[in-house]
């Protein structure tokens, strides 16, 4: 990547990868605002393809990915992560933290992100084959897990708010439930789902375990969700105070739906 002042482009490329798709944004580093955003969805046939072939096709169809950038960041989006308090964290035993909520193998590669100033780390399994592809394309880049960015941002905005609030971040095949109170992470977990009934079951079960009354607690939904879809409707049926996450403070040219769907990408 460029370092000399005469070579600087004042642009940053952020790529978010998952098994279901690939999205990226280009950020003007002087204004710190995104100037381009694109989402590419993989169908079932594409997901079964060789990752190098699939990503080579994506790059050939989006030549802006190969422009020069001062910074390149890759975000790994999956449900293979867990948060560990610093007091209980040992970098020599990363796999042991994940074995309680996902199936791990001896061949898995584990890594972690430090989560801002919140005295915890996010332990996760990145997509190694995707990282290898990006090494061939870019040489060097930074990478993080999507949940590191998601939880950090939600903790930041909860400052001086003593009310317990639940956030749900919905992706195509899984969603995360995050419960926060005044910059303290009270609960985090990721759930696979296929139907709206799965979706509301895990939300209500979590609320029950945390003694959150559906008549009182506030739920905000982020990610791939609109007020017209069946997932929002079923949440609205069982929880009195539910709304889509308010994105009015995010100042850029994208629609509210795009701001919510790409909340993680746009806050990276």
**Digit-coded pLDDT (tens) for 176-192:** 999 999 999 999 999 99
Whether 266 contacts 232, CB under 8 Å: no
**Digit-coded pLDDT (tens) for 192-222:** 999 999 999 999 999 999 999 999 999 999 9
**Digit-coded pLDDT (tens) for 123-138:** 999 999 999 999 999 9
Instruction: Give Cα separations from 218 to 139, 191, 235 (angstroms).
Output: 44, 20, 11
Residues of the chain with pLDDT under 70: 1-6, 44-45
Q: What is the pLDDT of residue 3?
A: 55
pTM across the whole model: 0.93
Q: What is the mean pLDDT of the chain?
A: 93
């Amino acid at each position: 990547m460029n370092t000399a002042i005469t070579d600087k482009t004042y642009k940053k490329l952020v790529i978010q990868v998952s098994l279901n798709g690939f999205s990226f944004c280009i950020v003007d580093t002087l204004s710190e605002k995104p100037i381009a955003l694109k989402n590419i969805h993989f169908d079932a046939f594409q997901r079964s393809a060789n990752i190098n072939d699939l990503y080579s096709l994506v790059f050939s169809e989006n030549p802006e990915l190969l422009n020069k950038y001062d910074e390149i960041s890759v975000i790994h989006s999956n449900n293979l992560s867990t948060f560990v308090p610093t007091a209980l964290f040992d970098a020599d035993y990363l796999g042991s933290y994940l074995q309680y909520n996902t199936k791990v193998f001896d061949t898995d590669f584990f890594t972690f992100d430090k989560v801002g100033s919140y005295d915890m780390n996010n332990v996760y399994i990145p997509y190694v084959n995707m990282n290898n592809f990006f090494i061939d394309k870019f040489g060097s880049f930074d990478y993080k897990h999507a949940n590191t960015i998601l939880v950090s941002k939600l903790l930041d905005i909860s400052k001086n708010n003593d009310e317990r609030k639940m956030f749900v971040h919905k992706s195509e095949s899984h969603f995360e439930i995050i419960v926060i109170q005044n910059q303290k992470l009270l609960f985090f977990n990721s759930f696979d789902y296929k139907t709206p009934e799965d979706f509301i079951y895990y939300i209500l079960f979590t609320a029950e375990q945390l003694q959150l009354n559906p008549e009182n607690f506030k739920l905000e939904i982020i990610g791939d969700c609109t007020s017209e879809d069946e997932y929002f409707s079923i949440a609205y049926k069982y929880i009195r105070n539910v709304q889509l996450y308010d994105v009015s403070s995010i100042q850029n040219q994208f629609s509210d739906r795009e701001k919510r769907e790409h909340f993680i990408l746009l806050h990276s």
